[in-house]
């Protein structure tokens, strides 16, 4: 899907830290919630079209509470499959006086705009859940949808002020509390073919569609690093330094063996399943980063395995001897050095031209012959420079570090997993060569 071109106001809000969330409503229409300065100098929070100049976006619901201009300030936006726009956030309460830098801290609620663009309605979530102050950022609350159904999950305050898991589901007409019975703060909730799997800091639980009974799933020790679902409904998760898989209906996660890289143990960092039937695993090993892959096969873990048993050959196992596309830290004998200059934000357009980096390179003709590329590793995109030597890479990295505020370029060795495009830069002017 091609990326639309965004307005000047969108990028202004983005770079000034005033873009709170965004959502693609269609291939051509992107909405965002952010701040915008009015002609009289005042600042407002509202919904705007990021790429279509056709006036303001849908109106935010006003609040009836004293001191609150909007019912919810700062939403996590979601475009439902039925065309509706949903915004998840916290209700404004009397005495809070929230502003553009300080959202409200009331109970969780959903603001729903109909697909015809009419007036929104605010739907408080059952039980009046409040976010736990012990859990920060994106780990606090998330959601997903399927058809006209949607689910919200969060770590909320329990009666004893400790974090507890919260899950609510909307069946197309109303919200229902489906929270697991216990377990502390939630780390992840996955929607499977026939139910949900919730993973918390003190355990995991599976819930079948149509049931209200959560069934406990035994988890390994250590914090959850990630959880991904394969095409067969199995859940792959990294706990501590190991990779594990849960099969639907199972009572526990089963360990998956990983090969050592250069004699050092592999610690899973990120997993991706491709449309070509491959499993790609990014690992850290001996202070380096490597990428392992395997063809996905149809073998499954055998039944009645003891907890923590090592299973060889289940679906997606990363077999020994198939590491590829390895990227490591630069070293003296490196034959394929490159500089990772910039990681793109996920909302950056496909034709983003890196103006600040090009400005920093202006006049540095000593880097003639360097190849400037946009590369990809899993879901992440990077701006890199293929240099001739590690020493040249270090000099280029220093130029970027001094010329681009808060940048942290890295000199690496190896082949990026994928190259999306090449950017030809005139180093005398810093302009792109068309």
Decide: 380 and 419 in contact? Cβ < 8 Å. Answer: no
List Cβ neighbours of 187 (8 Å cut-off, separation of 6 or more).
Answer: 139, 199, 200, 201, 223, 224, 227
Q: Which of 277, 309, 324 is the last residue of a domain?
A: 324
231 and 251 together in one domain: no
207 and 263 together in one domain: no
Q: Which of 291, 324, 357 is the last residue of a domain?
A: 324
Classify residue 269: in a domain, yes or no.
yes
129 and 204 together in one domain: yes
Decide: 160 and 171 in contact? Cβ < 8 Å. Answer: no
174 and 237 together in one domain: yes
Classify residue 3: in a domain, yes or no.
no
**In this predicted structure, what is the pLDDT of residue 300?**
34
Classify residue 2: in a domain, yes or no.
no
Q: Which of 212, 244, 276 is the last residue of a domain?
A: 244
DSSP character string of 207-251: EETT----EEEB--SS-EEEEEE-TTS-EEEEETTEEEEE-TT-S
Look up the CATH number of the domain holding residue 111.
Answer: 2.130.10
233 and 214 together in one domain: yes
**In this predicted structure, what is the pLDDT of residue 98?**
55
407 and 298 together in one domain: no
**In this predicted structure, what is the pLDDT of residue 124?**
92
410 and 336 together in one domain: yes
239 and 257 together in one domain: no
**In this predicted structure, what is the pLDDT of residue 280?**
80
| CA dihedral for 309, 310, 313, 316, sign (positive or negative) | positive
Domain of 221?
8-244
CA dist 236 and 258 (Å) reads 13
**In this predicted structure, what is the pLDDT of residue 78?**
84
Beta strands (DSSP E) in 30-124 are: 30-37, 43-49, 76-79, 85-90, 108-113, 121-124
What pTM value is reported for the model? 0.61
CA dist 193 and 233 (Å) reads 6
102 and 238 together in one domain: yes
In total, how many domains does the chain have?
Answer: 3
Classify residue 275: in a domain, yes or no.
yes
Classify residue 237: in a domain, yes or no.
yes
What is the pLDDT tens value at each position of the chain, 434 positions in all? 455 677 777 787 777 677 778 888 877 788 888 777 767 766 677 888 887 666 678 888 988 888 778 888 778 888 887 778 888 888 888 766 655 556 667 889 999 998 877 899 999 999 988 886 655 444 467 777 776 788 888 888 877 777 888 899 888 889 999 998 876 788 888 888 788 888 887 789 999 888 889 998 888 888 888 888 877 778 889 998 888 988 888 888 988 888 777 677 888 888 887 766 677 888 887 667 777 776 544 333 333 333 333 333 333 333 333 233 456 667 777 778 899 998 887 778 888 899 999 999 999 999 999 999 998 876 678 899 999 998 999 999 999 999 998 888 888 887 776 788 999 999 999 999 98
């Amino acid at each position: 899907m091609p990326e639309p071109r965004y307005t000047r106001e969108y990028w202004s809000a983005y770079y000034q830290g005033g873009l709170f969330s965004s959502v693609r409503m269609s291939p051509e229409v992107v909405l965002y919630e952010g701040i915008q300065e009015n002609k009289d100098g005042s600042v407002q929070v509202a919904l705007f079209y990021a790429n279509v100049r056709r006036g303001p976006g849908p109106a935010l619901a006003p609040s009836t509470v004293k001191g609150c201009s909007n019912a919810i300030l700062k939403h996590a936006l979601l475009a439902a499959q039925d065309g509706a726009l949903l915004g998840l956030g916290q209700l404004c309460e009397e005495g809070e006086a929230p502003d553009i830098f300080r959202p409200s801290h009331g109970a969780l609620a959903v603001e729903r705009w109909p697909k015809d663009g009419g007036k929104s309605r605010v739907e408080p979530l059952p039980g009046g859940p409040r976010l736990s102050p012990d859990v920060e950022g994106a780990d606090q609350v998330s959601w997903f949808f399927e058809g006209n159904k949607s689910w919200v999950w969060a770590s909320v305050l329990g009666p004893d002020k400790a974090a507890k898991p919260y899950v609510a589901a909307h069946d197309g007409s109303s919200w229902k509390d489906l929270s697991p019975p216990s377990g502390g703060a939630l780390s992840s909730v996955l929607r499977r073919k026939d139910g949900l799997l919730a993973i918390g800091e003190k355990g995991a639980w599976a819930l079948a569609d149509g049931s209200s009974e959560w069934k406990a799933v035994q988890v390994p020790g250590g914090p959850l690093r990630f959880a991904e679902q394969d095409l067969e409904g199995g859940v792959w998760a990294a706990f501590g330094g190991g990779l594990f898989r849960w099969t639907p209906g199972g009572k526990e996660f089963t360990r998956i063996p990983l090969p050592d890289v250069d004699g050092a143990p592999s610690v899973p960092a990120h997993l991706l399943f491709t449309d070509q039937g491959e499993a790609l695993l990014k690992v850290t090993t001996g202070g380096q980063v490597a990428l392992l892959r395997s063809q996905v096969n149809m073998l499954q873990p055998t039944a009645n395995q003891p907890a923590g048993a090592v299973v060889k050959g289940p679906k997606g196992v990363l077999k020994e001897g198939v590491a590829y596309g390895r990227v490591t830290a630069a070293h003296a004998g490196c034959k394929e050095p490159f500089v990772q200059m910039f990681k793109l934000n996920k909302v950056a357009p496909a034709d983003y031209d890196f103006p600040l980096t090009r400005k920093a390179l202006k006049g540095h003709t000593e880097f003639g012959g360097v190849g400037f590329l946009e590369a990809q590793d899993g879901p992440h995109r990077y701006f890199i420079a293929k240099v001739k030597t590690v020493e040249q890479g270090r000099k280029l990295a220093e130029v970027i570090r001094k010329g681009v505020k808060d940048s942290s370029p890295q000199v690496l060795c190896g082949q990026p997993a994928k190259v999306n495009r090449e950017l030809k830069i005139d180093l005398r002017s810093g302009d792109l060569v068309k």
